[in-house]
Structure 1
Amino acid sequence: MNKVELESRLECLMDEINFLRQLYDEELRVLQSQISETSVVLSMDNNRSLDLEGIIAEVKAQYEEVANRSRAEAERMYQIKYEELQTVAGKHGDDLRSTRNEINELNRMITRIQSEIDGLKGQRASLEAAITELR
């Protein structure tokens, strides 16, 4: 589009905006005149009494119910976690006892083998001494 077309379009849009603004202003005047001619009569029933004590008691009861549910849920979660930890601790205790027994058995085996090695070293020394004498 060239400049002339754009200027022409701008002028048309400005005219449309002005027309819509005038239409809006006219409708606003009509509505305001209708409102000013209308009178409203409200009657209020002020015989209601607020039962604040009842409302407070109801809110307190709801709060206590929520607190009791939360406490029960926390205790349940604690009990589950406690039982899980007891199970894990028992398993680790059993594993520890088993490992200690294995260590003790291996230490006894090491001592026995060390004794055998010392005995074999003694035999070897005597055999070497005997070989040396025979030569």
Structure 2
Amino acid sequence: GMGGGGMGGFGGPGFPGGIQPVQVDQTLLRPVHVEIDPQIQQVKNQEKEQIKTLNNQFASFIDKVRFLEQQNKVLSTKWELLQQQGPSGPRKNLDVIFENYIQNLRRRLDSLLGQRGQLESELQNMRQYVEEYKTKYEEEINRRTAAENEFVVLKKDVDCAYMTKVELEAKVGALTDEINFLRCIYE
């Protein structure tokens, strides 16, 4: 390296045109900020919202299914009680009404179970999609970090080369001054 000690002997005290102080470009010393792409953040937030919505829908379907199953039990119990009362005229009509009602409840239950299956598969796809996106996002972050590190190394090299150039220019200046001074003495 070329430290300050390497310049001894050039330009004594009060020597005209001595070594000038080195000016450092302050902008080179500022830290590098590589921001995360706001679009990636926006997509991640949208995905979170979609998953939240799907989870809520799923929970509400499960509640509906439970409610219908309870209703079914209540009706089955009523039905059994009515059957135990024995045959009578109005009971025949009730049979039909209850049968229809139970059939209707079963259809609603089947429909809800179908929707539940569909939601489960949508939720699964969404989770997989988020997982893939997370992987891509992490790869991108790693690439950016590597690029930042590379930039820091290159910046150090440039700074070092710049300092060496400044030191060499200072030495050339000092030698030129000394040569001119010696010429004056010997002429």
- Tell me the TM-score normalized by structure 1: 0.61
Counterpart residue number, 1:107 = 159
The structure 1 segments of at least 4 consecutive aligned residues displaced by more than 6 Å after TM superposition are: none
Residue deviations 1:11-59 (CA, integer Å, cap 9, x gap): xxxxxxxxxxxxxxxxxxxxxxxxxxxxxxxxxxxx6943022111101
Counterpart residue number, 1:56 = 108
Counterpart residue number, 2:139 = 87
Q: Which gives a bigger RCO, structure 1 or 2 (Cα 8 Å, sep 6+)?
A: 2
1:111, distance to aligned residue in structure 2 (A): 1.0
More helix per residue: 1
What letter is aligned with 2:129?
Answer: M
Residue deviations 1:82-122 (CA, integer Å, cap 9, x gap): 10010011011001101101101111121122111111110
- The structure that has the greater radius of gyration is 1
> Residues of 1 paired with 2:184 and 2:132: CA distance?
77
1:132, distance to aligned residue in structure 2 (A): 2.0
* Alignment: residue pair count: 89
Residue 134 (1) aligns with residue 147 (2): no
Alignment of 1:25-104 (within 5 A): 49-50=99-100, 51-104=103-156
Q: Please list every run of 5 or more consecutive structure 1 residues that lacks an aligned counterpart in the other structure.
A: 1-46
1:134, distance to aligned residue in structure 2 (A): 2.4
- Tell me the TM-score normalized by structure 2: 0.45
